[in-house]
Amino acid sequence: MSAASPFVRFGPAHLTALALTILAAVFLPLLLKKTGDERLVGRTAWVLGVVLLAAKITEPFFHLWSGLRWQESLPLHLCDLGGFVAGIMLLNRNYRLYEITYFWGLGGTVQALLTPSVPWDFPHPHFFYYFVTHGLIVVGAIYATVLFRYRPTVTSIWRVFAITAWTALVIAPINWVLDTNFLYLCEKPPSSSLLDYLGPWPWYLLALVPVALAMFWLYYAPFWIGDRLQRHLR
């Protein structure tokens, strides 16, 4: 493999990837909504879903080829699971999968985009895999909200929170058996992140509970405010 430069957080490549993600997440749904072409909306969702699933399926094989241990190549981080959920949601418009995509995507993947755990900068394949898969999760969440006319509810918050907790309970013994750190349950990621402000292990895991709930409510807030405004106008 050719030599590559170490990743630079908020360097030119990182900022470009963030800008492209924002542009795709905002303007793609708005442009398609303006056309009013439901067939185009469906076809675009299908393309996004296929690209995301193809990337998530091939990514572990690339990690193996690049020298990562097979245990660590398993797609069991939250954003890996979220990528599969978002890809399938875009293909079949499943509302339950949308709920997970929305809160995992905006509550978790956005953080991963801002504080990436990626070793190499552009144009290394690691860089492309990371930002394409993470970016498409966010794009998928907003795409379904705008074009499928889906929206989260208060029940969605508690349902996704329960799913997240159960996911952690399933992953924890896998980490113990395989000596891995999926979901960062065993230690913090090597790069700086929000977890650095939540104390040492295992206390940051406990602190994540109120933080996750607060973020879920934050991303539900626009819908709550919109509902109250509509009631007031009526």
- Give domain status of residue 153, yes or no: yes
Token pair 């599969």 is found at 84
pLDDT exceeds 50 at position 64: yes
Q: What pLDDT sits at residue 3?
A: 59
Structural domain includes residue 2 = no
Q: What is the average per-residue pLDDT within 100-111? A: 94
- Predicted local confidence at residue 165, as pLDDT: 95
pLDDT average, residue stretch 26-55? 95
In a domain, residue 4? The reply is no
Question: How many whole angstroms separate alpha carbon 48 and alpha carbon 134?
Answer: 12
* Whole-prediction pTM: 0.93
What is the distance between the alpha carbons of residues 97 and 53, in angstroms, rounded to a whole number?
14
Banded model confidence at residue 39, pLDDT cuts 50, 70, 90: very high
pLDDT bin (cut points 50, 70, 90) of residue 119 is: confident
15, pLDDT greater than 60: yes
Domain assignment present for residue 127? The answer is yes
Residue 126 in domain = yes
Residue 141 falls inside a structural domain: yes
The predicted model gives 206-232 an average pLDDT of 91
Mean pLDDT of 13-19: 96
Tell me the mean pLDDT in the region 212-232.
90
Q: What kind and span of H or E run contains 198?
A: none
Residue with the bigger pLDDT between 114 and 190: it is 114
pLDDT of 1 above 50: no
The total of structural domains in the chain comes to 1
In this prediction, residues 95-119 reach a mean pLDDT of 93
Residue 201 backbone class (left: φ over 0; alpha: ψ -120 to 50; beta: rest): beta
**Whether 137 contacts 118, CB under 8 Å:** no
- Work out the mean pLDDT of the chain and round it to a whole number: 92
What is the span of the domain harbouring residue 200?
12-233
Classify residue 192: in a domain, yes or no. Answer: yes
Q: Which tokens hold the place of 162?
A: 């329960």
Is residue 114, in this structure, part of any structural domain at all?
A: yes
Which of 33-37, 136-140, 154-158 is the least confident region? 33-37
Judged against a pLDDT cut of 60, whether residue 2 lies above it is answered with no
